[in-house]
Chain A
Amino acid sequence: MSPELETDTPDEPNYDDEFDAIVVGAGLAGSAAALTMANRGLEVLLVERGTSPGAKNVFGGVLYTPTIRELTDFEDAPLERYVAERRFSMLSDEDETAVSLRPGEWHREPHNDSYTVLRGEFDEWFAEQAVANGATLVTETTVTGLVRERDRIVGVETDRPDGTIRAPYVVLAEGGNSLVSEGANLKETESRENVAVAAKEVLEFPERDGVIEDRFRLVDDAGVSYHYFGEGAVGDAFGGGFVYTNEDTVSVGVAYRIEDAVAADQSPEETLNAFKTHPAVAPLLRNARTVEYSAKTIPEGGAESIPELVHDGAVIVGDAAGLVLNNGVHLEGTNMAVESGYHAGTAIARAAERDRTGADALRAYPDALEQSFVVQNLERYAWMMDAVEEDRDLLFEDLPRAFADAGTEYFRMDRNPKEVHAENAKHAVLDALGGWTGAAKLAFRYRKMVT
């Protein structure tokens, strides 16, 4: 822990009414809310159950930074690499068909606001920014419940001795495993169709120097974000695999719906092992050694799963509010967590100026969120999960194989003229799609992805 970070772990905190707001959880959403409120002159207590912020957190991952850059000086943030290449691969059991993007623009600052980070370091740094602006951080303290007076939330219970702390506003930023919000009946437990299980490893290379640059065709602090879907990634489950480059490690993982995980004939750990040994993935990881194994859930119910965001005296932000976009092409939660924390913090600061704590006084938060990319993006893709579910076999099994077959046909070396190969390739894809009618239907169904 860096020396300038003052963490307070009192045995008997007696903070009653010393704070204007209490934030539950020092993840991205919580620290963004605390930072925003502290900047606006509020006394803020940020409560984190881990030994330090980030100690309990796991993600893929690419941190998307447009809002963070606005909130704080971003110069010293512990970033691993900027994302210079994004690649999407369809895997059958033995084939890979990929689309890869390496735009020149991504090499220039702000690098499309996409950086790989490790949460153990990043979250600690981000919480530190809130502290530097006047927030008080308490670690190793778990919030176990909310304190209510009539219908109003007026504080939190913690597991510290004498650990009840009262404050006019509570920000619930506890992540997807939201025991406090659920315990207080502020949201329902998400059903398993709407939650993914993720298993992840961080791998290190013994020969370290330059190995990531060489293997992933990179220069300096450029990095990659590789996404994989199809049978070879996570079997017939709804989800995918990923590989991200950190500064001198690689993050590898799989994430798929819990509903599929319980139906699968292998555990998430075995799925991860199989993914790591897929012929398209294994060469990237050759000789690498696992230095960390971790797991976490991802709420992916989208727009329809967002609970009531404001209550008398409390708001819900980030993963706790289900604000994650995960549709196979996009996996974005970090930007939504920070954006929601920022709007929640702003709304609380305004309500505090008027000395009001009621839900109606906090409405500015959901209103702003609705106008922001957060809700707009979630709504835009709300239809997609249903469509994908309907086309599941086609998208995850038949198409990856058909595309691989089509490519193999198209480039086949024999003594036939190209026309024959092109025709065969076309048929490989059309057969999978159910002919021209099937292709047209599919194009129509997914037109909203590009329009």
Chain B
Amino acid sequence: MSAQPQTPDVTNDSMEDRLYTVKYDDPGESHLDVKVPDICAECETNDCVKVCPANVWREGEDGVPHIAYENCLECSSCRFACQYDNVVWEYPETGGGVTFKHG
């Protein structure tokens, strides 16, 4: 035998499947935004995009990230990741946003 035996079946869901496991109440208005889009256009690292575990921040062609806020898990990582302090992070409207059954 040479290599490792095949790992047994582990379901690694696609992001879409994963987000199915998360319940979104009416997300209302976006609670995420960029403060100064010009800075984003110049930011070459897009750290907000890289750190997000839910694919909310996506690289945009104009250099400004596009935000699929309704997928947000409210983890707050993007807020800490942006070194330009350019992420506007507010709490989603009361009663809205993500609800975890287990946590």
Contact = CB atoms under 8 A, between A and B. Distances in A.
Interface of A: 49-51, 54-59, 94, 118-120, 123, 140-142, 144, 159-160, 176-177, 179, 189-192, 195, 197-199, 201-202, 246, 249, 251, 258, 261-262, 264, 267-269, 272-273, 276-279, 282-283, 285-297
Contact of B100 (A58, A190, A273): A58
Interface in B32-59: 45, 47, 50-55
A279 B83 contact: no
A258 B81 contact: yes
Contact of B50 (A159, A264, A287, A292): A264
Contact of A119 (B55, B75, B94, B103): B103
A295 B4 contact: no
A55 B83 contact: no
Contact of B45 (A195, A262, A278): A262
Pick the 6 closest A-B CB pairs, nearest first. A119-B103, A295-B75, A177-B76, A282-B7, A262-B47, A293-B18
B14 to A, nearest CB: 10
A120 B94 contact: no
A215 to B, nearest CB: 11
Interface residues of B, number: 47
Given A119-B100, A268-B53, A290 B18 contact: yes
A283 B8 contact: yes
Given A192-B81, A267-B52, A297-B80, A57 B100 contact: yes
7 contacts: A55-B103, A59-B103, A267-B51, A276-B10, A287-B9, A290-B13, A293-B21
Contact of A292 (B81, B83, B101): B101
A201 B54 CA distance: 13
Contacts of B85: 189
B95 A140 contact: yes
A201 B101 CA distance: 12
A266 to B, nearest CB: 9
A120 to B, nearest CB: 5
A50 B23 CA distance: 13
Given A51-B25, A54-B103, A55-B103, 13 more contacts: A51-B99, A59-B103, A119-B100, A120-B101, A144-B91, A159-B94, A197-B75, A202-B102, A258-B81, A283-B7, A285-B10, A289-B11, A297-B76
Given A273-B12, A295-B73, A297-B77, A119 B95 contact: no
B102 A195 contact: no
B81 A286 contact: no
Given A177-B79, A179-B90, A292-B102, A261 B50 contact: yes
Contacts of B77: 195, 197, 258, 261, 268, 295, 297
A346 B90 CA distance: 32
B67 interface: no
